[in-house]
C-alpha cells in the first residue's frame, strides 16, 4: 500500500521536500526534516492499514454467516462480472456448472 501523502496528493511530499530545501540552510538539519516528513507519511500509512485490517478481521470473526462471507461473495461476483465482459462463455460456464 502506498504511503498516504503520496496517495492523496502525489506532489505533496515533493512540495514539502522542496519547501524544506528553501527554508533550512543547514544540510544536516534539512535531511533530518525530510526524514521526519517521510516518517510521518509512513506512520499515516501504517495507521490506515491497521484500521483496514481491523475492519476485515471484525467481519471475518462475525458470528453472522452473511457478514463473515460478504466480502468474499462480493469479490467473487465482481470477478465473474469482469470475466463476463471479456469472456462471456467462460463466465456462463462458471455460473451454471
Task: Look at the block and give the residue holding cell 516528513.
Answer: 37
Concatenated DSSP letters of 17-81: HHHHHHH---HHHHHHHHHHHHHHHHHHHHHHHHHHHHHHHHHHT-SSHHHHHHHHHHHHHHHHH
Rounded to an integer, the average pLDDT of 43-72 is 76
- Tens-digit pLDDT profile for residues 4-46: 544 555 567 788 888 888 888 888 998 998 888 888 877 877 8
| Predicted TM-score (pTM) above 0.75 | no
Amino acid at each position: 500500500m502506498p504511503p498516504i501523502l503520496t496517495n492523496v496528493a502525489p506532489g505533496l511530499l515533493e512540495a514539502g521536500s522542496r519547501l524544506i530545501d528553501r527554508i533550512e540552510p543547514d544540510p544536516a538539519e534539512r535531511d533530518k526534516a525530510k526524514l521526519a516528513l517521510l516518517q510521518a507519511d509512513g506512520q499515516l500509512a501504517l495507521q490506515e492499514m491497521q484500521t483496514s485490517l481491523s475492519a476485515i478481521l471484525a467481519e471475518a470473526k462475525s458470528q453472522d454467516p452473511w457478514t463473515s462471507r460478504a466480502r468474499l461473495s462480493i469479490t467473487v461476483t465482481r470477478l465473474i462480472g469482469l470475466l463476463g465482459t471479456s469472456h462471456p462463455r467462460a463466465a456462463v460456464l462458471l455460473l451454471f456448472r
